[in-house]
Amino acid sequence: MNWKNIFKYKKSRNAESLLETVLARPVPRHISIIMDGNGRWAEKRNLPRVAGHKQGVEVLRDIISTSSQIGIAHLTLYAFSTENWKRPESEVRALMSLLVEFLQKEINELHNNKVKIYMLGDINGLPQEAAREVEKAMNLTAANKGLQVNIALNYGSRMEIIKAARKIAREVSQGKLSLDDITEELFSEFLETRGIPDPDLMIRTSGEYRLSNFLLYQSAYTELIFTDKQVFWPDFNRERYLEAIYEYQNRKRRFGGIDDVQAGVE
């Protein structure tokens, strides 16, 4: 065994013992991820930014299969924001091709593993080939009951909220809804995430501490984990993912209330 293999063995053994620990407690129902830092990962290596995006796709496979293995119900991945159109055309084109390639290569295995693919965002704004491939993947996997992977593509949370407000306003003006019908629950049903529980945990890689227009309404009480800036998305892996879930499991969620233990003492 050479040094490289020993290192690999140690790393994976750590991931496997973490897996046991994580599985001993309730896992989040819904995890959302801002996969950030592909460009910087590549720049650090004097590679073109696209090389970072390619490596990022490799990581995605691991994260999806781990999520499926540990019984996460929803994984929502921020793949392309409405603001990402500002990037050079060549980078946008490369990102869309990577998406198409990923779906073409992986869809059968995902389908065999009962993964359901769903898209958040405006599909009509996507290049034709990307839209077609996403549509195909959604149709093929629509009835699957395993992990649901929500891909946020051409997605922006403010626009999502505005569209919901418009639809509700229309229904009110048509007399289908009254003002009193507009509750938090009803509003959620008009968002693109209708039927999907709010994220329990959001992870962002690359040391950027912001939401960048991702799931703003849905994340009111989401636990946030930001990796430090040495960990770009292509550096993320199964072990770091399990570590984040473990950290989540050790947090106390209060939703504005007080701890159960304290409540018992009162």
Active site residues: 36, 84
Question: Does the protein bind Mg ion through residue 36 (CB under 5 A)?
Answer: yes
Question: Does the protein bind ligand IPE through residue 199 (CB under 6 A)?
Answer: no
Question: Does the protein bind ligand IPE through residue 68 (CB under 6 A)?
Answer: no
Q: Identify residues 92-111 at the interface with ligand IPE (CB under 6 A).
A: 95
Alpha carbon distance 78, 218 (integer Å):
14
The single residue among 44, 158, 176, 210 that binds ligand IPE, judged by CB under 6 A, is 210
Is 93 or 210 the residue whose CB approaches ligand IPE more closely? 210
Question: What are the Cα distances from residue 181, in Å, to 138, 160, 226?
Answer: 32, 20, 37
Is 36 or 239 the residue whose CB approaches Mg ion more closely? 36
**Residue 170 near residue 95, CB atoms below 8 Å:** no
Is 36 or 133 the residue whose CB approaches Mg ion more closely? 36
**Residue 200 near residue 244, CB atoms below 8 Å:** no
DSSP 136-151: HHHHHHTT--S-EEEE
Indicate the residue whose CB is closest to Mg ion. Answer: 36
Q: Distance from CA of residue 106 to its chain's centroid? A: 17
Other CB atoms within a 10 A radius of the CB of residue 7 amount to 10
> Interface residues with ligand IPE (CB under 6 A)?
34-40, 78-81, 84, 95, 206, 208, 210, 212, 233
> Interface residues with Mg ion (CB under 5 A)?
36
